[in-house]
């Protein structure tokens, strides 16, 4: 982004990049509107860079830095997190600026060696430790497992700027706006939820610990390493992180179903009608085979109610539904109100196995679990409607 200079506080600049080329983040998650890798340059007696960008954008990062300073004049590069979307440009940077001291946690030091063979000029910092870089002071907070074990957040004490890397990050490139008061916030909040559900969610308990550690810290700018920089409504995103990491869902239902020949689909329509009759109009229906998995996962994280319906397949759970349940377990989503329905042709399987999976998730199961043979009867459709109604009532009264 030649010619664009974004100052987030006096002497602190965004020098990151937009990745508009990647289709799948981590090779899994679709990013139809790209993603940004935010890197921050702090101009002081010892100019300091906080986080870098993914390797293919190394050249662009160097150009962005050069608009302020020769990279050979950089004093420190702070490595908050070693995932290569933030550390990938380090080798290129060190080739032109070998004088740099890298600042990171002890765990990140090991990873620097393992990822890049970097072993020299590393200053390990502990939790709460500070480095004076001139007029400004950097303080480091260990926030392990947000997103990897080595992760830390950097705080510029005098400016009250917190750089927490992945935490509060979003999918979506920065389209001309860099701050929350310059962008369509609701779009980025949706993408923050998807980023959370896809990338961070397994570590919800470490997120809770990080929030508790940083509570009370004055923050005037929250500058994550993906997506917008928050300065207008920081409280909103902190509250969302509190909520998501505590598995608190909004009042609504994600109804996720699979169907091969339309019979489970017919059942789903009856459940959906019941949800609405039960007083819940915030209902989102997803075909588990067709809806992008990344978005379905985020919707399960968003809503208090999750209803699952699928046919039996090879005596087990319909494969796309099985994948969803396994991923929900992997990501450790808790605290949902759940209804289950499933079909079978000659021997049951799906409904019972879905029930076992949901019991493993420790969700509140709304009885009865409905299993029907081949094609639902009018009576079974009424039972499906009643199930939807019961789930909705629990969700709305909760």
Using CB under 6 A, list all residues that contact ligand FEO. Answer: 81, 83, 85-86, 147, 166, 225-226
Cβ at position 121, least distance to ligand FEO in Å: 23
Cβ at position 86, least distance to ligand FEO in Å: 6
Contact 14, 38 (CB under 8 A): yes
Cβ at position 225, least distance to ligand FEO in Å: 6
- The CB-side HSE value for 203 (13 A sphere, CA atoms) comes to 20
How far apart CA 346 and CA 100 sit, in angstroms, is: 68
For strand 40-42 and strand 12-14, is the pairing parallel, antiparallel, or unpaired?
antiparallel
> Is the CB of 134 or the CB of 149 nearer to ligand FEO?
149
Strand ranges, E, within 242-336: 250-257, 283-287, 303-313, 316-317
> Is the CB of 109 or the CB of 147 nearer to ligand FEO?
147
Residues in the chain: 398
Cβ at position 44, least distance to ligand FEO in Å: 26
> Is the CB of 64 or the CB of 225 nearer to ligand FEO?
225
> Is the CB of 24 or the CB of 135 nearer to ligand FEO?
24
Cβ at position 313, least distance to ligand FEO in Å: 34
How far apart CA 74 and CA 13 sit, in angstroms, is: 14
Strand ranges, E, within 261-348: 283-287, 303-313, 316-317, 337-344
> Is the CB of 104 or the CB of 340 nearer to ligand FEO?
104
Omega of the bond leading into 368 within 30 degrees of 0 (cis): yes
How many Å is the Cα radius of gyration of the chain?
Answer: 24
> Is the CB of 146 or the CB of 325 nearer to ligand FEO?
146
Cβ at position 41, least distance to ligand FEO in Å: 19
> Is the CB of 225 or the CB of 312 nearer to ligand FEO?
225
Picking from 136, 393, 118, the residue whose alpha carbon sits closest to that of residue 275 is 393
**Cβ-based burial of 32 (10 A; exposed 0-12, middle 13-18, buried ≥19):** exposed
Cβ at position 28, least distance to ligand FEO in Å: 13
Contact 87, 110 (CB under 8 A): no
> Is the CB of 85 or the CB of 322 nearer to ligand FEO?
85
Tell me how far CA of residue 226 lies from CA of 4, 96, 312, 362, in angstroms: 18, 25, 40, 32
Cβ at position 240, least distance to ligand FEO in Å: 18
């Amino acid at each position: 982004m030649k010619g664009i200079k974004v100052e987030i506080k006096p002497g602190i600049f965004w020098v990151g990049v937009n990745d508009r080329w990647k289709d799948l983040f981590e090779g899994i998650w679709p990013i139809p509107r790209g993603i940004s890798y935010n890197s921050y340059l702090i101009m002081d007696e010892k100019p300091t860079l906080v986080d870098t960008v993914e390797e293919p954008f190394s050249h662009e990062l160097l150009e962005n830095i050069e608009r302020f300073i020769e990279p050979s004049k950089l004093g420190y590069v702070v490595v908050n997190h070693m995932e290569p979307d933030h550390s990938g440009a380090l080798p290129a940077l060190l080739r032109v600026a070998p004088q740099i001291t890298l600042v990171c946690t002890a765990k990140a030091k090991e990873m620097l060696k393992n990822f890049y063979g970097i072993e020299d000029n590393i200053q390990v910092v502990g939790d709460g430790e500070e480095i004076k870089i001139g007029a400004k002071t950097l303080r480091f907070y260990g926030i392990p497992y947000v997103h990897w074990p080595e992760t830390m957040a950097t705080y510029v004490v005098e400016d009250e700027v917190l750089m927490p890397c992945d935490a509060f990050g979003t999918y979506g490139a920065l389209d001309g706006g860099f701050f929350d008061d310059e962008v369509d916030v609701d779009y980025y909040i949706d993408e923050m939820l998807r980023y959370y559900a896809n990338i961070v969610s397994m570590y919800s308990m470490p997120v809770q610990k990080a929030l508790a550690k940083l509570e009370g810290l004055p923050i005037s700018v929250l500058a994550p390493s993906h997506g917008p920089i928050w300065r207008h409504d920081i409280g909103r995103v902190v509250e969302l992180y509190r909520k998501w990491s505590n598995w608190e869902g909004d009042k609504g239902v994600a109804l996720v179903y699979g169907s091969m020949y339309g019979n489970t689909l017919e059942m789903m329509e009856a459940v959906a009608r019941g949800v609405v009759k039960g007083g819940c109009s915030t209902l989102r229906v997803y075909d588990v085979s067709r809806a992008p998995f990344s978005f379905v996962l985020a919707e399960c994280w968003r809503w208090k109610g999750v209803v699952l319906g699928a046919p039996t397949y090879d005596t087990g759970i319909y494969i796309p539904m099985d994948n969803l349940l396994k991923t929900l377990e992997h990501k450790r989503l808790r605290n949902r109100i759940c209804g289950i329905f499933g079909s079978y042709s000659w021997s049951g399987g799906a409904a019972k196995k879905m029930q076992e999976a949901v019991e493993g998730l420790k969700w509140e199961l709304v009885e009865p679990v409905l299993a029907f043979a081949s094609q639902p009867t009018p009576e079974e459709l009424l039972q499906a409607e009643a199930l939807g109604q019961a789930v909705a009532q629990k969700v709305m009264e909760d």
